[in-house]
Amino acid sequence: MATFLVALQIASILAVLGRLAAFRIGLPAFAAFLVIDVIEIGIAMWASSATSMNEAVKVWAGCQFALCCGYVAIADELRRRVLRRYPGIGHIASVFVLVAIAIGGMIVMLTAVDPSKGLLRLAVFLPRIMVSILFVAIGCLWLLVRHYPTDLTMNDRIHGKVLSVYLGGRSLTLLAINVGGDPQTSALFGMVISTCCFISWSLLLTGEEPDLVPSPDSSAVLDAAQQRSQRAIEELRGIWR
């Protein structure tokens, strides 16, 4: 079962990379993260059969640090894509991110296991901090978009939603492992969630980048603005008559 899931996960990641390259979808940080993820899977498979466990743990821990940097990069890439047409909201977005970091930090502190138990625990603990924070940060970003209507491409919406599910699944998996849950069961759960997300990306991302898809409130805001403009024009005509 585990071997099949690993093979399916690698195949789905390669499918996403192929999709990004074929349609030239502008997500370079996400593509780099996927490459690191494939390398991490390979290292984990090598570590399970390595003769020197200490060396294997060190290499795997280094890969986890690289993944942490990747988590930050793909979240920032999404933020820039969502707000690229409205730079004025950037300051508000920064405040939301700071709030998300504080909330994510509180979540981690309430559920944290002492990282002094070894490098392996620390390698699990650090990614969970980053994933929890970024999961909340992306949630705050969608709340911001909800209250400040903006226009998003279909790819932005798909990528943001699938990324939220992916980070949520990773956070739950790392939480279960870090608090002493069964590592194999937790890892299988995480692999299922991750693979489903990779398959979703490979099937749903499009290279068309067609018309912008308005957020739920943007059409109403535009209609209201047009009505106010029409009334103002009619009032001016009445004055000149």
* Least confident range of 91-100, 140-149, 181-190: 91-100
> What does the alpha-carbon distance between residue 177 and residue 128 come to, in Å, rounded to a whole number?
10
Higher-confidence residue: 186 or 209? Answer: 186
Residue 68 pLDDT = 82
Q: Residue 164 above 70 pLDDT?
A: yes
Average pLDDT, rounded, for the chain: 76
In the DSSP assignment, the letter for residue 212 is -
Rounded to an integer, what distance in angstroms lies between the CA atom of residue 33 and that of residue 26? 14
Q: What's the confidence (pLDDT) of residue 211?
A: 47
Cα distances from 127 to residues 90, 149, 238, in angstroms, run 26, 32, 65
Give the distance, in angstroms, between the CA of residue 48 and the centroid of all CA atoms in the same chain. 28
Give the Cα separation of 67 and 59 in Å (integer). 13
Q: What 3-state class would DSSP assign to 75?
A: helix
- Provide the CB-side half-sphere exposure for 86 (13 A, CA): 15
Higher per-residue confidence, 14 vs 42? 14
- pLDDT number for residue 153: 83
Q: Is the pLDDT assigned to residue 140 strictly greater than 60? A: yes
Q: What are the sequence ranges of the domains in the chain?
A: 2-206
Choose the weakest-confidence range: 34-48, 89-103, 163-177, 179-193: 89-103
Q: Does the structure show a pLDDT above 70 at 178? A: no
pLDDT (mean) for 116-140: 73
The answer on pLDDT for 236 being more than 50 is: no
Here the tokens at position 77 are 């890439």
Contacts by 109-117, CB closer than 8 A, 24 or more apart: 111/175, 111/178, 111/179, 112/178, 113/178, 113/179, 113/180
Tokens of 232: 């103002």
More confident residue, 66 or 144: 66
In the chain, what percentage of residues exceed pLDDT 90? 19
Q: What is the pTM of this model?
A: 0.74
Residue 161 has pLDDT above 70, yes or no: yes
Sequence-separated (6 or more) residues with CB below 8 Å from residue 133: 100, 101, 104, 105, 108
